[in-house]
Chain A
Amino acid sequence: MSFISIQDVCFSYEEIEEGKHVTNAVDGVSLEVEQGEFVAIIGHNGCGKSTLAKHLNALLLPDSGRVLIDGDDTAVEDNTYAIREKVGLVLQNPDNQLVASIVEEDVAFGPENLGVEPSEIRRRVDAALRAVDMYDYRGHAPYRLSGGQKQRVAIAGILAIQPQCIVLDEPTAMLDPSGRQEVISTLLKLNRTQNITVVLITHFMDEAVLADRVVVMDSGKILTQGTPGDVFSQVELLKKHRLDVPQSAELIHKLRGCGLQIDKIPLTQEDCVALLEEAMR
């Protein structure tokens, strides 16, 4: 049994009435995610990524179909608490997530709600704030922070819950290049060393290439999925669906159009340099 099992889920924000056609924000999605997997979800604005993400910790419940977390159905109310302990969701807008008037209280909020020992809370809060490089701001008021700083505090708040799975809805949208890199390496580290399942929603293709699997959504449905190598070699398909590829892939794709013979589209700077060096020697 997969850790996350999404089975033919449909969800609409509209009222369902007799004889009225409703548009589904999530439209028949089935997806299995194993414990310890790192999955990236990409897709155009409004394709249903956030809506799907909110199904993973029972913030939204399917109109039809089911979502099972570690075997538990999210639609069963008695499961909600256990599910939220297992799956931490970092919302798209950090302002919706920050609740307390001091940064460290905010980060402590999650573990406090779960009844964690005070000394353990202290330890987790400090570790989480250090992981996102916001320890020096622990006494500040969240509303006084810059956009990127708020986003990092919101991530720390989820890290402190120590869930088995972290779902992040565009966590790096407001970060500078090194902040982005720090968040992504923190996620990779949690995934590799603690086997934490990561579901990362992003519009940055250079982040998606680091995942084990990339899921491409389009208009509420899953368009395609596979390893980053498989998905990002479909340059034309991605562009047709409002997506993109890393600059390295873009460059090689263009050169391929002029006859350059290559087997594999490079997804990283290093691969691209190696490929071009080889071609020009």
Chain B
Amino acid sequence: MSCVLELKNIGFTYGKGTPFEKRAVDNVSLHIEQGEFIGVIGHTGSGKSTLMQMLNGLIRPTDGQVLLDGRDIWAEPKKIRQVRFKVGMVFQYPEYQLFEETVYKDIAFGAQNCGLQGDALDRAIRDAADFTGLPPALLDKSPFDLSGGEKRRAAIAGIIAMNPEVLVLDEPTAGLDPMGREVLLSQIVRYHKERHNTVLLVTHSMEDIARVADRIMVMNKGRLALFEPTREVFRKGDTLRGYGLQVPQITRIMQDLRRRGLDVPEGVLTVDEAFAALLPLLQKEGKLW
């Protein structure tokens, strides 16, 4: 495996030297391997979005370095635009960056800037719309006439169409209906499996991240509080609660059962795992068919 992203002691202060000075990210160092699926969680205001925006050069760290494929992305500030094609960033509330006349043109925007044209561009746009579950009939509509969830899909499709090496999604499922979340989440997983690209997913849904991430970064007050495999992170319920977070409901249910002396496994993360663990126990009791 090779390291795709390395952060060396990076930090960011908003409004340095003003009365509004705010240390949003403080001294974060880490390695991310090519092809990893990373979850990013943390209380509101913990610095997740600020940290993500430093990964693609949208904001420049006030301290430290961001290395992409071993190279400091700010070594040549004039080339920072290229970093934005390699590290595709779906912003929090991306729907407010829609501005073209039609959804189709909006999705095309980034991919065109990456040099795609003609049939290849058309295919990338339609694939991306399909990927996010956006019905083809909406492509000719104005982005302003879509519902909240539909706008979100259009905005994500615009980044997917660029096929970035590292895909960063900042709360992409916030505001989607349950099936929309489910579909988008499984599409992201599929994208990750098929293209072997690195994915970073910021979310407030512990249930979702528990199902998909290899490793999880936990941010707390601008610092990287934990960066461990998913199961390890969700073993630390008390620590997480101290950071304003939680473990998934299903994990809590199984923990409670254990605490009451029932012989169920530790560290269950999904409903499917819980189901598989309970099935034989209930069968033994003669409670099932």
Residues of A at the B interface (CB closer than 8 Å) are 13, 43-46, 50, 92-93, 95, 140-141, 144-149, 152, 170, 173-180, 203, 205-206, 239, 242-244, 246-248, 250-251, 254-255, 258-261, 269, 272-273, 276-277, 279-280
Contact = CB atoms under 8 A, between A and B. Distances in A.
Contact of A273 (B42, B174, B256): B256
Nearest to A46: B147
Please list the 7 inter-chain residue pairs (A to B) with the smallest Cβ-Cβ separation, ordered nearest first: A148-B44, A45-B149, A244-B178, A259-B289, A46-B147, A242-B179, A177-B246
A273 B45 contact: no
Nearest to B148: A92
Given A176-B42, A176-B244, A176-B245, A280 B282 contact: yes
Contacts of A175: 44, 204
Interface of B: 14-15, 20, 22, 41-46, 49, 92-93, 96, 145-150, 171, 174-182, 204, 206-207, 241, 244-246, 248-250, 252-253, 256-257, 260, 262, 271, 274-275, 278-279, 281-282, 285, 287-289
A205 B145 CA distance: 27
A44 B278 contact: no
B245 A260 contact: no
Nearest to B288: A259
Contacts of A13: 145
Contacts of B41: 176
Contacts of B179: 44, 239, 242-244
Given A13-B145, A45-B147, A279-B282, 17 more contacts: A44-B180, A45-B180, A144-B14, A146-B49, A148-B45, A176-B245, A203-B181, A242-B178, A242-B179, A247-B271, A250-B271, A251-B271, A251-B278, A269-B253, A273-B253, A277-B260, A280-B281
Contacts of B15: 144
B287 A279 contact: yes
Contact of A170 (B175, B248, B262): B175
Contact of B279 (A148, A248, A258): A258
A93 B175 CA distance: 10
A44 B181 CA distance: 11
B246 A43 contact: no
A255 B43 contact: no
B143 to A, nearest CB: 14
A44 B150 CA distance: 11
A43 B177 contact: yes
Given A147-B171, A269-B256, A273-B260, A177 B176 contact: no
Contacts of A92: 148, 175
A69 B150 CA distance: 31
B178 A276 contact: no
A176 B275 CA distance: 27
B206 to A, nearest CB: 6
Contacts of B204: 148, 174-177, 180
B262 to A, nearest CB: 6
Nearest to B203: A176
Given A269-B253, A276-B257, A178 B93 contact: no
